[in-house]
């Protein structure tokens, strides 16, 4: 009987510690990436070598974006060279996106399909249209974004130089007068799209693709598996290319920006789709990255796996916030849970340090320190997003509703 009790004690301790270590990995990964990101202030200072001629084709996939597409097209037209192309793919539009784009003087392709719907299908349609006169580099820009001056040719030249995908710094900004929830969303976005890719690129010369502000050499664009309904086709594409030995480079000096909707309900709908895509990609692609690292160890696949293993911050905060008190309470009844509780405590400390450091170095303009302390309320506000992931996952291309 004593032997049985000892066995149960050891088994419980090992199982609890294993689960606690798995839960701790994202926190320590986030802290390492945040430390590696440094504190350099990023400025959109893009220098272009005029002696290097790169033929660029810019694809703008657009789904019912007639109200917002004009500033994007004007921004891109100002950066076109004499041999460049700007092509709008008006995909399954029910509004006058195509007519508005035509009026701006750009090439427009219209695509309609009742079942094959999504950004990936639109991009594949655009790539097919380029095959007869292939460019050197394909740049993808969403229809509600603006690119920093010189950004298009800076990223194109970087793409030609490395023959790898290149990702601009992709930021969504809180509009003037935005409330706390929107600014919290902007902070979470900044951590994901600025802090983490800076850290992963400095550690392993790789980052994830972000869907907009990304450039691909023609040979990769022409053979990429784009025509899928995957909700995070950009991240999956970046993983595919990293495994093939051509990881995405990060060009933080070129920036692409858009605004969060001022309406918090609309913003949450938008964030729901992105985070469902992140979780889906984590489940599907993390094993592939780890297997690729085992077969052929490289810093690039390792840092991409480190970044991918980090769930959406609010979800992870909730997991840590729930597990730590439960394990602490369990220690009262069984000493076997003591080591697991200590590991869980280390997760909470690492997560708090990463969030505080990211705020201190990169986001003090977004939130005051007292507002940062409301992170638990923000996490609770996001709880329905994660419940929905298990009950009704978002998929396909769902355009974000916006108030005009």
Domain assignments of the chain as residue spans, ordered by start:
23-404
How many CB atoms within 10 Å of residue 393?
14
Q: What is the mean pLDDT of residues 83-106?
A: 95
Closest by Cα among 292, 160, 308, 306 to 234 = 308
Angle at 131 between CA 130 and CA 136, to 5 degrees: 75
- Summarize pLDDT for 34-80 with one digit per residue, the tens: 999 987 655 545 556 656 689 999 999 999 998 889 999 999 999 99
Q: Which residue shows structure tokens 């889906």?
A: 280
Give the integer Cα–Cα distance in Å for 82 and 26.
Answer: 47
- Summarize pLDDT for 153-204 with one digit per residue, the tens: 999 999 999 999 999 999 998 888 888 888 988 999 999 999 999 999 999 9
Looking at residue 204, its pLDDT comes to 96
- Summarize pLDDT for 316-349 with one digit per residue, the tens: 888 898 888 888 888 877 777 888 889 999 999 9
Is residue 98 over pLDDT 60? yes
> For residue 145, what are its two tokens?
């974004």
Between 130 and 279, where is the model more confident?
A: 130
Domain formed by 23-404, architecture: Alpha-Beta Complex (3.90)
Closest by Cα among 174, 195, 179, 178 to 360 = 195
Within 191-312, where are the H helices?
Answer: 196-204, 218-223, 233-243, 264-295, 299-308
- E strands, 52-177, are 56-62, 85-91, 107-111, 137-140, 146-147, 166-173
Q: CB-hemisphere CA count at 13 Å for 198?
A: 23
Per-residue confidence band for 303, with pLDDT thresholds at 50, 70 and 90:
very high
pTM of the model: 0.87
Q: What is the mean pLDDT of residues 364-382?
A: 83
Looking at residue 386, its pLDDT comes to 61
Angle at 320 between CA 315 and CA 324, to 5 degrees: 155
Per-residue confidence band for 393, with pLDDT thresholds at 50, 70 and 90:
low
Sorted by sequence, the CB contacts under 8 Å of residue 360 that are 6+ apart come out as none
Average per-residue pLDDT for the chain: 86
Looking at residue 275, its pLDDT comes to 67
């Amino acid at each position: 009987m004593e032997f049985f009790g000892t066995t149960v004690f050891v088994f419980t301790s090992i199982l609890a510690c294993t689960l606690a270590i798995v839960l701790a990995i994202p926190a320590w990964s986030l802290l390492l990436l945040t430390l590696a990101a440094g504190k350099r202030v990023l400025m959109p200072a893009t220098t272009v070598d005029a002696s290097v001629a790169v033929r660029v084709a810019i694809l703008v996939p657009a789904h019912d974006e007639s109200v917002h597409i004009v500033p994007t097209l004007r921004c891109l037209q100002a950066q076109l060279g004499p041999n460049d192309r700007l092509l709008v793919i008006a995909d399954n539009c029910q509004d006058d996106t195509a007519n508005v784009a035509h009026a701006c003087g750009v090439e427009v392709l219209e695509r309609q399909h009742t079942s094959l719907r999504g950004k990936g299908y639109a991009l594949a349609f655009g790539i097919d249209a380029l095959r007869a006169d292939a460019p050197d580099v394909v740049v993808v820009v969403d229809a509600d974004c603006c690119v920093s001056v010189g950004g298009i040719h800076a990223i194109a030249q970087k793409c030609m130089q490395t023959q790898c995908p290149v990702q601009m710094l992709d930021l969504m900004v809180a509009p003037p007068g935005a409330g706390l929830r929107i600014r919290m969303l902007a902070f979470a976005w900044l951590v994901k799209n600025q802090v983490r890719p800076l850290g992963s690129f400095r550690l392993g010369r790789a980052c994830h693709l972000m869907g907009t502000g990304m450039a691909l050499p023609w040979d990769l664009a022409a053979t990429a598996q784009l025509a899928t309904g995957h909700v995070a086709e950009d991240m999956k594409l970046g993983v595919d290319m990293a495994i093939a030995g051509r990881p995405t480079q990060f060009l933080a000096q070129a920036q692409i920006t858009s605004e969060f909707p001022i309406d918090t309900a609309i913003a949450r709908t938008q964030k729901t789709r992105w985070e469902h895509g992140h979780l889906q990609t984590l489940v599907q692609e993390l094993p592939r990255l780890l297997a690729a690292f085992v077969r052929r160890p490289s810093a690039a696949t390792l840092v991409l796996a480190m970044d991918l293993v980090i769930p959406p911050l609010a979800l992870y905060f909730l997991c840590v916030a729930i597990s730590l008190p439960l394990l602490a309470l369990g220690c009262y009844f069984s000493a076997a849970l003591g080591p697991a509780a200590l590991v869980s405590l280390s997760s909470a400390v690492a997560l708090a340090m990463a969030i505080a450091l990211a705020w201190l170095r990169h986001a003090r303009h977004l939130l005051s320190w007292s507002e940062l302390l409301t992170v638990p309320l923000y996490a609770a506000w996001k709880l329905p997003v994660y419940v929905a992931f298990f009950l009704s996952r978002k998929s396909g291309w769902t355009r974000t509703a916006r108030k005009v």
